[in-house]
Amino acid sequence: AAKEEGKGTFHFYDQQLYDSIRSKLNAEAELVRAIAENQFEMHYQPRVNAFTGQLTGLEALVRWRSPLRGLIHPSEFIPLAEKNGCIVQLGELVIDQVCVQIAQWQREGEPLVPVSVNISPTQLNVGGVDTLIAGLLKSHGIAPELIEVELTESAMMSESTDVIGQLAAISALGIKIHLDDFGTGYSSLSRLQEIDMQIIKVDRAFTSRLGAGPEGDILFKTIVLMAKALDMGVIAEGVETEEQLHILRELGCDEVQGYLIAPPLPAADILALMHRQYLLADAVTS
Ligand code: C2E
Ligand code: MG
Ligand code: MG
Ligand code: MG
């Protein structure tokens, strides 16, 4: 691009540095504003029983509907929000928005399933996640069984007694805790037992290796056996093919989530799936 401009590269690189600093400042200001104006919306991805195809839950995934740039995915703003602390307010917006949605479905007599919400390690470190959730459940009149939380291994590994206390308090509310992206972090087995978690979500990196050779299948099988030994459920993330689903059933994986079943969808579209209840009917009967 510099050559085409024909004005000398030196100027171009200065300009590039300037632009990059300016765009970082802009991005930060935009995000602060987006939170103040709540430009966020939730999409929901179903998970189903691997054997029956029955809908077992939804995962709430945040999207930023930017008036300037359109629909933005979390990988493009969650890291920034974590770095500048905005994630705490964003996390509140997310949980509140999910509660508002569940309460609406509840009022309208829709068939309800648990909705899991992703919580960032920073939110846990700042604290108050347990009281925030408890307050929102109460004010929206929602049963604790309808909300679940997803935490990555790094969030669980904190030695802080406050983090452990919050997780215990969340569990005590009757809220299930999912260990998200399992296999990408470095949690110890002893820690897995220390914290009261009910579900392991195996990262897509492992799902995508199924069927490609014996190692991938054996690795996944080991995780399933470990989860069962710890009396935990297992969800395979990122299931994209019939072959992966087939292998996962043979390995005894309880639940599956991924594009094969459905991508994350806006609330209106997810409602149609909630009415169908059995989302893998074809695969099950064939
Ligand atoms: P995650 O919690 O592991 O969510 C799963 C991600 O995998 C989602 O990306 C989802 O769209 C994508 N996915 C689902 N099925 C498939 C599949 O079959 N194939 C492929 N290639 N991808 C699939 P998304 O929505 O872009 O979210 C990315 C990450 O951002 C999430 O990973 C989560 O860590 C974070 N995130 C999303 N929403 C929130 C939120 O409200 N709060 C916080 N703190 N983090 C969030
Ligand atoms: Mg998740
Ligand atoms: Mg995940
Ligand atoms: Mg993942």
ipTM exceeds 0.90, yes or no: yes
| 99-111 residues labelled b (16+ CB within 10 A) or e (exposed) | bebbbebeeeeee
Residue 142 burial by Cβ neighbours in a 10 Å radius (0-12, 13-18, 19+) = buried
C-alpha span between 254 and 236 (Å, rounded): 8
Q: What is the mean pLDDT of each run of 10 residues along the chain (286 residues)?
A: 51 74 83 96 98 96 94 95 94 97 97 97 92 96 97 81 90 96 78 84 96 94 94 97 97 97 96 89 51
What is the reported pTM?
A: 0.92
Around ion ligand 4, residues with a beta carbon closer than 5 Å are 181, 203
Protein residue whose Cα sits closest to atom 19 of ligand 1:
238
- How is residue 233 annotated by DSSP? E
Taking the CA of residue 94 as reference, the ligand 1 atom at the shortest distance is 41
C-alpha span between 152 and 172 (Å, rounded): 20
Instruction: Specify the pLDDT at position 224.
Output: 97
* Ligand 1, CB within 6 Å, residue ranges: 45, 61-62, 73-75, 78, 91, 94, 118-120, 150, 180-181, 204, 238-240, 258-259, 264
Q: What is the pLDDT of residues 21-61, one digit of tens each?
A: 778 778 889 999 999 999 999 999 999 999 999 999 999 99
Alpha-helix residue ranges (DSSP H) falling in 127-201: 129-140, 153-156, 161-172, 189-194
C-alpha span between 121 and 85 (Å, rounded): 11
Protein residue whose Cα sits closest to atom 42 of ligand 1:
118
